[in-house]
Structure 1
Amino acid sequence: MRISTGQFYESSAANYQRNFANVVKSSEEASSLVRVNTAADDPVGASRLLQLGQQASMLDQYSSNMTTIKATLGQTEAVMTSIGNVLQRAKELALGAGNAGYTDADRQANSSELGQIEEQLLSLMNTKDENGKYIFSGSKGDVAPFSRNTDGTYSYNGDQVTLDLPIGDNQSMATNSTGWDVFQQAINTNRTETSLTAPGVDDGRVSLSNGQVSSDVTYNAKFRSGEPYTVSFLSSTQLKITDAAGTDVTAETSQNGVFSSSNANSQTVSFRGVDLKLNINLKSGDSANPDAAIAGHSFTFGAKPDTFTTSRSPGNPSAALVTGAAVTNATDYNASFPNGGAILKFTSATDFDLYAAPLTADSKPVSTGTVAGTTATASGVSFTVAGTPGAGDQFSVSVNTHKTQNILDTVSQLKTALATPTNNNPVAIQKMNAAVTAGIGNLTSGIDQLAIGVSSVGGRGASLVTQTDINQSMVLANTQTQSAIRDSDAADVMTRLTLQQTMLQASQLAFSKIAQLGLFNKV
């Protein structure tokens, strides 16, 4: 077989170039100890490295998210702790105000300090983070969560949305605690009321306080189904309670409705999960016939009716206002009125729709209607409208069911009760004591609700520690797997490089030897 000089040189050059390229590549690998630089080096390994790189990026993001959550939880816990200390001081003032030796001046001093506590609480509950966002507003970080109304009550302006960040595969964690959950949902123990029905003019002989809920379970299971109740005093030692149907339910009352007229101190009447304070104040001359003095007094007794707060939406086409709202059909109200608040939207000057809040593009009305005179009735609630609404007018409607109470309202009510002089009037003192009892109960409830919020923060913090350990283990495993696929074994690379260098030298030597076999070398 004859091999031309051109073929020889081409074959030798290709072999040399191949060996030279192998040496260069092995030299670079020996220098960097990186085996896979491109997908061509190892297609399967490169694909796996891409997946591992994406996982590493996610783990870095999880770590960043956990740092953010940890900082937010730390600030939230610190603020909650401060609020807890302030509430404990308010409770101490309330307990002190119940001291029989306190004068009006002493109670007014406590009221003054409670006013300062009220302002301090409002400031703490409207705390901002390092980015200027309110920490208790939910997703409405630019809106102050709590504001004081013109009547001295407080409103929550945030929402109930938690801001969640992923901290692991298929696991997210809330960065925030909403003011709604922590401060707005404290059980209101003072959510029933009594009203004197006879005699027509209060003679001060019988004082029956608004009820204090002592058992939420019994209250919900039994009390609500029979209200309103009538409390009738049959004599100076016996009362009777009848439910809305007229059924005598006195047997469910503590001591079967027996009380004492000779004891000037408050007596507790317990009925279906509610405790009432009863005071009998016999007057001069009543001792001869106390039964005649007390018999005939009666009260109505039931849960406080739901109240509504309405506000005009900015940008309404008209200047119309909703000035009042009240339940006029309890059946319709309980069946369809949105529990979380509503939006009353006018489609014309007379037609309107009622939506569950918040109103979105997909919202469907829960009720529709037409204004009758100045009244718009929807879902059992009658709204009083002042002015002529325009198409597109919207009014936000919030509902106070009195089941829960903002701790700011509790402190404010307690402050007002202590600031009101009693002038040593027994009836006024009894009313003040009832208000203090209600305040203590609601402060205790508020502190308990705050404790739940603190526990939630602590639980998330503990979960962060656990998840941090898990993520660190995954980072270590990810790093090791990437190294096993991408990195080279130094001994293997050096052995291969030495072999390739020897082969390159051999190809050079072979080329020079064969080149000397040409015809011209024989001339």
Structure 2
Amino acid sequence: MRISTSQFYETSSANYQRNFSNVVKTGQQASDNIRVRTAADDPVGAARLLQLQQQSNLIDQYDGNITNVRNSLGTSESTLNGITNILARVKELTISAGSGGYTDADRKADAQELTQLEEQLYSLMNSRDENGKYLFSGSRGDTPPYVRNADGTYTYQGDQSTLSLQVGDMLTMASNESGYSVFEQALNTSRSQTKLTSPLVDDGRVSLSNGQVSGSTQYNDRFRGGEPYTITFTSSTQFKITDAANNDVTLEATGEGKFDPSKPGGVTFRGVEMALDINLSDADKPNADALIAGHTFSLGSKPDEVSGSRSPGNTSSSQITGASISDSTAYNNAFPGGGAVIKFTSASAYEVYAQPMGPDARPVATGTLTGTPATKAKIAGVDFDFSAPPAAGDQFSVKVDNHQTQNILDTISEFRKALELPVDKDLASRQKYQGALQSAIGNLESGANKVAEAISSIGARGAALDVQADTNESLKMANTKTQSSIRDADPAEVLTRLSLQQTMLQASQLAFTKISSLSLFNRL
């Protein structure tokens, strides 16, 4: 077979370049121990390495999210611990204010300290994180969670949502606490009320306080189904309770309707505790049974209360001067349970939005003011009175209090107001104050429990983050090991292959030199 000179040179050059390329490539592997640099080196391995790198990037993102969640939860926990300390001090003042030796001056001194504690609590509940976002506004981080209304009450402006971050392939974690769940869901123990119905003029001989809910399950299951109740005193030592259907349910009360008028005591009925005081002068005692018999009280849950306040940005000075439920059926069926916003599109036309009102909110009702001048509105069974016709663009916030829950700011505010009122020389005022005292003690305990639940929830999430961080670290180590097994070269195998390829390169060089020296002229 004949081989041309050009074919010989081309073949020899190709062999030499191939061998040289293999030596360079293997030499590079020997220096950095990397086997797969491009997809051409190992298509299947390169695809697998790409998947593993994507997983590694996700794990890095999860680790960053874990750090962010930890920082946010740490800030929330510190703030809630501060709130817990304030509530503990408020509870101390509340209990001490119930001492029989306290005077009006002592109670006013406590009210002054409560004012400062209320301001501190208000500030903490409106705390921000390191990014300037409000901690307890839910997903509305730019909105202060609480505002103080003109009447001294407080309104929650955040929402019920939480901000969650992915910390694992199958795990997301809430990074904040919603003020709605921490502060707005504290059970209100003062959900029932009593009212003297006979005699028409209170003679001061029988006092029955508004009830404190001591057993929510019994209250919801038993009490609510039979209200309103009638409590009738048949003598100075007995009473009878009948439900709305006139069924005698006295046996469900403590003492089965019997009491000792000479001892301080109370009545517990279907999860509601009421303080009972019998006040008889020495002249009354011989005829105690006749004087006490016939005293009758109604007992039931407090009805919902609706109140409204103007927006600070309103152009007019119009205020909501009255809000009352006139149609219970329409109110229960249609009025927004979380409150409403009344927005005026003109001096008389208005739109009603459910709270919280988002940017995409749609009106749930529309209407026009009536009366001369036009200052009255009827919205879903609730009658509103305005002090003057509003201007176009004016907004009014409407709050619904169903007495099921009460935030701790309102609890402290209400008790502070009770402390400021003189009660030393007025028996009726003192009895009213005792009711406010019991309500404050119960609601503070309920509020502190919700804060404690939030702190426990943060602790549980912190523990879950620790577990997930360990899991992520294990996954990252396994990922790194798997990538190394695919990408990295075997040093022994690389060195052996490098030696062989160097020998082949030398052989190709020698062969080229020998063959290129052959010529017909050498034979002549």
TM-score (norm 2): 0.91
Do residues 41 (structure 1) and 41 (structure 2) align?
A: yes
Residues 37-436 of structure 1 aligned to structure 2 (within 5 Å): 37-263=37-263, 265=264, 267-283=265-281, 285-311=283-309, 322-344=320-342, 354-359=352-357, 371-373=369-371, 374-385=375-386, 395-436=396-437
Once the two structures are overlaid, the 10-residue window that deviates more, 216-225 or 59-68, is 216-225
Tell whether the 8 Å contact from 1:261 to 1:282 is kept in structure 2 after alignment.
Answer: no
Q: CA deviation at 1:78?
A: 1.7
**RMSD between aligned alpha carbons?**
2.6
Report the Cα distance in structure 2 between the residues aligned to 1:412 and 1:475, rounded to whole angstroms: 53
Tell whether the 8 Å contact from 2:195 to 2:297 is kept in structure 1 after alignment.
Answer: yes
Query: Which residue identity lines up with residue 400 of structure 1 in the other structure?
Result: D
Tell whether the 8 Å contact from 2:133 to 2:142 is kept in structure 1 after alignment.
Answer: yes
Identify if the C-alpha distance between structure 1 residues 453 and 192 changes in structure 2 by more than 3 Å, giving closer, same or farther.
same
Report the Cα distance in structure 1 between the residues aligned to 2:50 and 2:312, rounded to whole angstroms: 52
Q: CA deviation at 1:393?
A: 6.6
Once the two structures are overlaid, the 10-residue window that deviates more, 432-441 or 239-248, is 239-248
Q: Secondary structure at the match of 2:231?
A: strand
Report the Cα distance in structure 1 between the residues aligned to 2:102 and 2:296, rounded to whole angstroms: 32
Once the two structures are overlaid, the 10-residue window that deviates more, 281-290 or 477-486, is 281-290
Do residues 495 (structure 1) and 493 (structure 2) align?
A: no
Identify if the C-alpha distance between structure 1 residues 164 and 3 changes in structure 2 by more than 3 Å, giving closer, same or farther.
same
Once the two structures are overlaid, the 10-residue window that deviates more, 54-63 or 122-131, is 122-131
Query: Which residue identity lines up with residue 410 of structure 2 in the other structure?
Result: D
TM-score (norm 1): 0.91
Identify if the C-alpha distance between structure 1 residues 154 and 318 changes in structure 2 by more than 3 Å, giving closer, same or farther.
closer
Report the Cα distance in structure 1 between the residues aligned to 2:447 and 2:483, rounded to whole angstroms: 53
Cα offsets for 1:232-289 (capped at 9, x unmatched): 33332233333334444333322233333334x3x21112211111111123532232
Q: CA deviation at 1:53?
A: 0.9
Q: Percent identity?
A: 57
Query: Which residue identity lines up with residue 276 of structure 1 in the other structure?
Result: M
Query: Which residue identity lines up with residue 445 of structure 1 in the other structure?
Result: S
Query: Which residue identity lines up with residue 242 of structure 1 in the other structure?
Result: T
Q: Secondary structure at the match of 1:289?
A: helix
Give 1:508's aligned residue: 509
Report the Cα distance in structure 1 between the residues aligned to 2:316 and 2:96, rounded to whole angstroms: 52
Identify if the C-alpha distance between structure 1 residues 142 and 182 changes in structure 2 by more than 3 Å, giving closer, same or farther.
same
Identify if the C-alpha distance between structure 1 residues 313 and 418 changes in structure 2 by more than 3 Å, giving closer, same or farther.
closer
Report the Cα distance in structure 2 between the residues aligned to 1:61 and 1:407, rounded to whole angstroms: 38
Identify if the C-alpha distance between structure 1 residues 318 and 169 changes in structure 2 by more than 3 Å, giving closer, same or farther.
farther
Unaligned runs of 5+ in 2: none
Report the Cα distance in structure 2 between the residues aligned to 1:16 and 1:315, rounded to whole angstroms: 86
Cα offsets for 1:82-140 (capped at 9, x unmatched): 21122112212222222223333333333322222212211222222222222112122
Report the Cα distance in structure 2 between the residues aligned to 1:250 and 1:329, rounded to whole angstroms: 32
Query: Which residue identity lines up with residue 250 of structure 1 in the other structure?
Result: T
Q: Secondary structure at the match of 2:240?
A: strand
Report the Cα distance in structure 2 between the residues aligned to 1:82 and 1:392, rounded to whole angstroms: 40
Report the Cα distance in structure 2 between the residues aligned to 1:430 and 1:169, rounded to whole angstroms: 60
Query: Which residue identity lines up with residue 484 of structure 1 in the other structure?
Result: S
Identify if the C-alpha distance between structure 1 residues 451 and 237 changes in structure 2 by more than 3 Å, giving closer, same or farther.
same
Give 2:453's aligned residue: 452
Report the Cα distance in structure 1 between the residues aligned to 2:517 and 2:211, rounded to whole angstroms: 119
Report the Cα distance in structure 2 between the residues aligned to 1:365 and 1:144, rounded to whole angstroms: 24
Tell whether the 8 Å contact from 2:158 to 2:356 is kept in structure 1 after alignment.
Answer: no
Cα offsets for 1:155-203 (capped at 9, x unmatched): 2122211110100002110111111111221111012222233333332
Query: Which residue identity lines up with residue 235 of structure 1 in the other structure?
Result: S
Cα offsets for 1:204-242 (capped at 9, x unmatched): 222211110011111111222232333333332233333
Once the two structures are overlaid, the 10-residue window that deviates more, 287-296 or 465-474, is 287-296
Q: Secondary structure at the match of 1:207?
A: strand
Cα offsets for 1:3-32 (capped at 9, x unmatched): 111111111111111111111111111111
Residues 468-487 of structure 1 aligned to structure 2 (within 5 Å): 468-487=469-488
Cα offsets for 1:322-365 (capped at 9, x unmatched): 55433222233333433333344567776666554345687666
Q: CA deviation at 1:465?
A: 0.7
Unaligned runs of 5+ in 1: none
Q: CA deviation at 1:378?
A: 3.7
Give 1:7's aligned residue: 7
Identify if the C-alpha distance between structure 1 residues 63 and 424 changes in structure 2 by more than 3 Å, giving closer, same or farther.
same
Report the Cα distance in structure 2 between the residues aligned to 1:2 and 1:385, rounded to whole angstroms: 114
Report the Cα distance in structure 2 between the residues aligned to 1:108 and 1:368, rounded to whole angstroms: 47
Do residues 461 (structure 1) and 462 (structure 2) align?
A: yes
Q: Secondary structure at the match of 2:404?
A: coil
Report the Cα distance in structure 2 between the residues aligned to 1:90 and 1:361, rounded to whole angstroms: 39
Tell whether the 8 Å contact from 1:311 to 1:322 is kept in structure 2 after alignment.
Answer: yes
Report the Cα distance in structure 1 between the residues aligned to 2:276 and 2:232, rounded to whole angstroms: 13
Query: Which residue identity lines up with residue 290 of structure 1 in the other structure?
Result: A
Query: Which residue identity lines up with residue 210 of structure 1 in the other structure?
Result: N
Q: Secondary structure at the match of 1:399?
A: strand
Report the Cα distance in structure 2 between the residues aligned to 1:90 and 1:169, rounded to whole angstroms: 45
